[in-house]
Every structure is written in structure tokens, then in C-alpha cells.
A and B are shown apart, each in its own frame.
Chain A
């Protein structure tokens, strides 16, 4: 089950597509569901499928194909650092190493207090801003020097 606010957002997405193409909203419906629930459990996926009148397996395929959906629980804050070549040339790997050291975790791990998960990302289309990272998929942070990373981690702990 999703909240009425989430359903309203999903309805707005459905309205973007021709009336007989509701399934086009599956990507945004999953995004909205993940925003509310933190990650996509099979119950959530099945709920979205029912809501869009799609077979659950079709929605599951979408959820597992795209990298930004989380099919298992993640920390309250998911930090994704870009380490693709243009970023790697300009501090991307150093930034990731620094975050690993600060949080005491490696990529694909969550801190023991459940606050942070760290992920390695592919090009985010912001290579000129390297090092670049994303917080919870939606908030992009540019030019992440060690000082700015410290500041960010402080802010996110609150």
C-alpha cells in the first residue's frame, strides 16, 4: 500500500501517457514508491503492478533492469559516487576512498547504525563537476573536496 500523496503523484504520471498506455508510468511509479518506502520489496512491486494493471513480473523486470532502484534495504542515506573515467581523472576515486574511510564501509555496504549506504555509480552526466556524488538518487553534489564531504556527512547525520 502507498500513501494517498504517493498515489496522487503516480496519477499525475499516468496522465502523461495515452489512456491505453498506463504501463508507461511504471518507472516513475516505482521511483515514487521507493521514495516513500526506502526500497522496493516484492509487496511494493506487486502493489504498483496492480495499480497500473500490469503483470507483476513486468514491473519486477523494470525494477531490476534500472540501476537506481533498490531491491533490498539500504541505509537512510544512499551515497552514490561516480568513478567513471572522466571523474576518476579528477578525484572521483579519491573522493570515494575518503568516504569509505570516513564511514568505515566499502562499496555496497551499510554502516552498522543503518544511516549510510555507499554505492559506486556510472557517469551521471556531470563530469565537469568531478568529484560528483548523488544522495538518495535525487540530490546531486558537485566538486566534492574532502572538506565538502565532511560537511555533507555532518548535515546528513542530522
Chain B
């Protein structure tokens, strides 16, 4: 873990998650400032807009704009939800935020609740990180006891309460409407949109959902100003961002760096490619983002615009690094299995299509590929994309399309020669248990 940023910086010792430690780092100053100076809800939203903060959960939607969609004068409850259901392969940043700086998320949510007039929030925490969930509950208790949550926060007439909801193993609950269904105690199946959550969300009430890292960025924006946050990154790509680097690097981990940092610098921070091997490919934004070949990636800077111009997505900021020992067919097989396994089954194109994708990639990998299999894969993806309720269908298709586009030769070789271009012992050596 290393930080040139605002969320994971200044974290020393093993009590960084405690309220007292957070306050020492300037925590809850933003909230105190809003209450003391009676800053209006509109002004808070304006500041967030000015920061050009874009949602850190994957879609990169401008946060201030999203907040302004919430109905102002709504009679009755409005809700806030934090998406900590981090399960997109390659992404492990929200876990570190919640482990080491949970109060930044709590403060961010309180401020969001104030700005949008929500009375209650839920943080939906990924099933597999029970220990993090327990710690977050403790942090909530600390905040409640300090008068930072609950009725009449810091003596003002603003009340907001916040609770943690624990997932139990379903990637699809990261999709925001599936997440709401899940909080309602149902199967996590995405809803048709519209209506959007801002008009019909949790329990049918107006709801805003943001990612953990998005909320954790808010205190800084209010404390230091939207301009200061924007200046940390580059225009239209405000701030610093966490990148989770995994795969074939010497120092996997989270790196919080300014948006716009060259990929080459990030790779160097992560200790470079393992064993002095050559970089082959990078998935720059989580498993759903299109893969990019090394040469393209080495020319990118890490921000929404640059990665999108290169034909991929910054997504959640999960950078999966693959070196020359990687078999791209096997890599895709593993991802396709994941989407097949995690499809919620509501839409026929996704339910059936993800099964087809997996089975065809699986047979290519196992030496049973047929000459027209690549056409078949492309046609299956064409039949999924844009025809489903949620974006999981697209997320399953984009890896397939991009792996074939950039590494088609390798797939063709598998089909023709019934084996891999990369020798088995090289693959084994490259993917073995690695101790830095």
C-alpha cells in the first residue's frame, strides 16, 4: 500500500481505523465546518460538482451531478447506499479503505446524507470480508457515541443514521439495483431501469448509491475545496485514485496516485514485472474492462479519458498485469467461467450467452476448438450486448471481444494445433505461488 493521495495517506500504526486517530488526521472537520458555517445542501453539491469527482465504482459518473438528481422536496424517507460489494476480479481497494480508514467513508456518507436530505444510509459490505464488516460496525458505534451519527448531529437539527449490511457471496449485488434488492432481503436480481434509484430506490424511496472510494473522497473536497481536489488530478479527471495492482508484478497492492499518472510509473511503483519477464497484456479497469496489449498500455496515462481513448475503461481501477508466461486463452477461460457462474439468470441472452461463451472458450483451451469458434464467440457477444437488464451481459462480452481482437493469433493457434503457444512449464513457472 502506498499513497500520494488523500484516502490512504498519513496512515501510521495499527489504530488508524479508530475515531481518535481519524480526528487527529483532520477527520470530521469537513462535517463540523458544514454544521458550524451552516453551509447549505446546494452549496455542498456545488462543491462536489466543482471537484469533478467521478464515481469510483466503475462507471465513472460525475458524483455531483448524480447527487443533484435526488428530488429536493420529497415527503417521506430518502436513502443513501454505499457500495462496498467489491467483487470485480482485480479490485481490492475498498477493503483497504474500510480496514484502515473507515471513518472517511462514514463522514463522506453523513455529508452526502446532509446534501441530499437522506435520513438513513446503508453500507453494503462484500460477503467474503466479514472481518472488515465487523470493524466497520465498531467504527459506526464510535461515531454514534461521539454524536456524529443519529439524532441532531453535533447539536444541529440534522439527523442521519447509518448501518452496515453484510452480503453473502453474489457478485451481481455490486450492481446498484441488485444491491438494493439485496438490502430489502431478496435475491440480488437487478431491476429494470427506469425508474432510476433517485426516484424509486430502496423500499421504493429516492436513493443514491455511490462507491466506497467515492464517499471517502468527500471529506477532503469539503475541507480543502473542490478546486483543490480537481488540481490533484487533471481536468475532467479530478483527484487522486486508488489503483489495485495484481497479477505478475513484484509488489501487488493498492497505489493511490493522481489521475493522469503514466501507466509506466504505476508499473514501476508496483515493482515492475516479475522475474524480469516481459509485459504481455494489462486489464486496466477490472475484469469487465477490455484487455490491452503491452505496447498500447505503456503509452497510456491512468485516467478515464486516456484509457477510454485506448479502447478500454478505467472502471474500478483494478490493474491486472499479465506477463509473457500467460496463456491468453486460459486467462479468458477463467473470466468467462466467472461471468457464467455469476449471471443472475433473469435475461435469456445473458443466462444462455455466458454459458456459451464459457463452453466455447473452454473447448478451445482444451484442444477441442473448431475452425469457426472465433466467429461463434463474436456472434454470441453481439447477441448479448445491449440486450440485457444490467451491464453484466456487457461485462461478460467485452473481455471475450478484446482478447480475440488483440490476441486472436493465440486463439487460432490453439484451435489449429490443439495446444498453447506458451509452453506449459513456462505457464506453470509464471503463475506459481510467489513470495516477494
User: Which residues on the B side are within 8 Å of A104 (C-beta)?
Assistant: none
Closest beta carbon of chain B to A136's beta carbon, Å: 10
Q: Does B244 contact A (CB under 8 A)?
A: yes
User: Which residues on the A side are within 8 Å of B245 (C-beta)?
Assistant: 128
Chain A residues 111-145 with CB under 8 Å of chain B are 121-131, 134, 137-140, 143-145
Q: How far is the CA of A25 from the CA of B166 in the complex (A)?
A: 10
Choose one: A93, A122, A127, A128; the contact of B171 (CB below 8 Å): A122
Contact at A62–B185, with CB atoms within 8 Å?
yes
Contact at B186–A130, with CB atoms within 8 Å?
no
Choose one: A90, A95, A126, A145; the contact of B92 (CB below 8 Å): A126
Closest beta carbon of chain B to A149's beta carbon, Å: 9
User: Which residues on the A side are within 8 Å of B77 (C-beta)?
Assistant: 18
Q: How far is the CA of A104 from the CA of B127 in the complex (A)?
A: 28
Contact at A131–B433, with CB atoms within 8 Å?
yes
Chain A residues 50-101 with CB under 8 Å of chain B are 52, 54, 58, 61-62, 65-69, 83-86, 88-91, 93-95
Q: Does B163 contact A (CB under 8 A)?
A: yes
Q: Does B64 contact A (CB under 8 A)?
A: no
Chain B 161-188: CB-based contact to A (< 8 A → 1; otherwise 0): 0011111111100000000001111111
Contact at B168–A66, with CB atoms within 8 Å?
yes
Q: Does B213 contact A (CB under 8 A)?
A: no
Q: Does A7 contact B (CB under 8 A)?
A: no
Contact at B184–A88, with CB atoms within 8 Å?
no
Q: Kindly count the residue-residue contacts between A and B in the assembled complex, taking CB atoms under 8 Å apart.
A: 179
User: Which residues on the A side are within 8 Å of B182 (C-beta)?
Assistant: 27
Chain B 232-275: CB-based contact to A (< 8 A → 1; otherwise 0): 00000000000011111000111000000000000000000000
Contact at B431–A66, with CB atoms within 8 Å?
no
Chain B residues 204-241 with CB under 8 Å of chain A are none
Closest beta carbon of chain A to B5's beta carbon, Å: 17
Q: Does B88 contact A (CB under 8 A)?
A: yes
Contact at A90–B247, with CB atoms within 8 Å?
yes
Contact at A89–B163, with CB atoms within 8 Å?
no
Closest beta carbon of chain A to B159's beta carbon, Å: 15
Known: A84-B287, A89-B322. 17 other contacts (CB 8 A): A18-B77, A18-B120, A21-B184, A27-B167, A27-B185, A61-B186, A62-B187, A66-B168, A67-B127, A67-B168, A69-B169, A85-B338, A89-B247, A91-B431, A93-B431, A125-B94, A127-B92
> Which positions in B face A, CB cutoff 8 Å?
77, 86-92, 94-95, 120, 122, 126-131, 163-171, 182-188, 203, 244-248, 252-254, 287, 318, 320-322, 326, 331, 334-335, 338, 341-342, 430-435
